[in-house]
Structures are given as structure tokens and as C-alpha cells.
Amino acid sequence: MSVYPYLVAGVLFVAGLYGVVTSRSYVHLGLCLTVTQSSTYVALVSVGYLRNGQAPITQGKTPGKPFVDPIVQAMTLTDVVVSVAVLALVLSLALLAHRTHGTADPDRMRQMKG
């Protein structure tokens, strides 16, 4: 199917959201954020694919086959770094939460109300 990879991306996105909504631990929640973000990787890289294409490396290339889109690959690379940065901070905050509150369960931390 010509839209199947994109639909996979869509499902992953919502699956990650489901994880965030039902999470009982900030660590798990950080990983669900990563799942949501990975849906963008799938979407981006799928966008760039060309039928019968080859990787955009000129050394050892097969003549005649087109190169797939290198720009989405660069975007995905940046995206991965973003994911690492966000995850590092969410995990640090999860650690702090455990340190100060004794729990990393988002629903048990109800200090903010109203």
C-alpha cells in the first residue's frame, strides 16, 4: 500500500500519547514521549523514500538508481538529537521527583491544584 508507512507513523504517534496518558511512572512517560517522537522519524524517512532508490552515498553507488531524499535524513538526525535532549531532561526531572517526593508516579504528585 502506498500510504502504509505513513499510517504506521500515525499509529505510533497516538500510541505514544496513550502511554503518556496512562503512565504511572515518569521514566515510562519519558519513553512514551520517545515513542511519539519516533513516529516523526518514520514519517520523515518514509517521505524521502524512492522506489528502486539507493542511499545517497556516491562512493560505490549503482549507476542509474536515483538517490533517496537526503534532506529528510538530515532532519531525522536532528530529530533524534532533540529526542535525546528532551529525554535526558525528563529523566533528570524524574530522578529529582523521586528524590524529593519519594515517588515517580505523576498521579501521586498532586501539589499543583486549581
Partner 1 sequence: MTLVHRRLSFFVPAAVLLTGVLAWGLAGMPSFGLPHSDYARYITAHAAGQRHVSNIVSSVVFDYRGWDTAGEELMMFAAVMGTALLLRDDRDDRDEERRRPTDATTSDAVRTVRAGAVALTLLVGLWTVAFGYLTPGGGFQGGVVAASAALLTWVGGSYRRLRAVTPTTMVDATEGLAAVGFLAVGLLGLVAAGSYLQNVLPLGTPGTLTSTGTIAVLNAATGLEIAAAFVLIFREFLEEHVETLPAREEP
Partner 2 sequence: MDALVPLVVVVPLVLAALLATVSRWLPRGVPDAVGIAGAVTVTVMSLVLLQATRGDPLVSWFGGWHPVHGLPVGIAFVVDPMAASMATLAGLLVSASLVFSWRYFEEVGHLYHSLVLVFLAGMVGFSLSADLFNIFVWLELMSVAAYALCGYQIHEASVVQGAVNFAIINSLGTFTMLMGVAMVYASTGQLNLAAIGHHLAEHGSDSAVAVGFALLTVGFLVKGGAVPFHFWLSDAYAVAAAPVGALFAGVMSDLAFHTFARVYWDGFAAGFSAEAHVAVRALLLAVAVVTMVVGAVMCWLQSDLKRQVAFLTVSHGGIFLAGIALLSPLGLAGATLYVVADGVLKAALFLSFAVVILRLGSSDELRLHGRGRSVVTPGLLFVTAALGLSAAPPLGTFLASAMIYDSPGFGWLPPVIAVSAAVTAAAVLRAAGRIYLGWGVVEDPLRSSGRPGRRHEGEPDEGADLGLAVRTWLLAPAFVLVAIGFGLAFVPGIAGEAVAEAHAAQDGPAREALVLHGTPPPAPRPTGYKASGTAWGYGLGTAAGSVLLAGAALRRRPARRPLRPVLAGARALRRVHDGAVGDYAVWLTAGAGVIGAVWALTLR
Residues that bind partner 2 (CB under 8 A): 9, 13-14, 17, 20-23, 26, 29, 33, 36-37, 39-40, 43-44, 47, 71-72, 75, 78-79, 82, 85-86, 89-90, 92-94, 96-97, 100-101, 106-107, 109-114
What single letter denotes the amino acid at residue 108?
R
Pairwise CA distance, residues 104 & 22, whole Å: 14
> Exposed, middle or buried, 102 (CB in 10 Å: 0-12/13-18/19+)?
exposed
Grid cell 515517588 — which residue? 103
Which partner, partner 1, partner 2, none, binds residue 101 by CB below 5 to 8 Å per kind? partner 2
Q: Name the residue nearer to partner 2 (CB basis): 46 or 54.
A: 46
